[in-house]
Amino acid sequence: MMMGVRVPVFSWGCRYAVLALRAERLHQATTGHRLIEYRGPEAWIEDLQDEVPVPAAELVKDADELLAGLPALMLDQTLITELRKTVEEIRAVVDAGQGQPTSPPRRLFVDVDALFGAK
């Protein structure tokens, strides 16, 4: 394992999962509908359950930071394209309507387990 390759992916992947889970919580609270189909560590869901909901503006900022960090990841270009699309869609949903999330045309799939297994 090359530390310079895997560590950034893990760090980015953790932030990606947290963004998705926080966006899911905000979306459910404001619309009553699910946004994310999440596949990843269940403990991360539990860790965020007691957290004060994060404002939409902060989630947008977090999404922008994730998008800026994508080019530095040493991943397959197809995976990077999928990750970019998902983060952009999360950002658009939480940013729409002055912080009042809207529903995307589809439920977003966030597979953190696959990301951590990516080569």
Q: How confident is the model at residue 112 (pLDDT cuts 50, 70, 90)?
A: confident
**Segment 46-86, tens digit of pLDDT:** 888 888 888 999 999 999 999 999 888 878 888 889 999 99
Count of structural domains within the chain? 1
The structure's pTM equals 0.82
**Segment 5-41, tens digit of pLDDT:** 444 667 888 999 999 999 999 888 888 888 899 988 8
Distance (Å) of CA 117 to CA 3, 28, 79, 80, 106? 15, 29, 12, 14, 25
Q: Which residue range is the domain that position 9 belongs to? A: 3-116
pLDDT at 118 over 70: no
Distance CA 79, CA 92 (A): 20
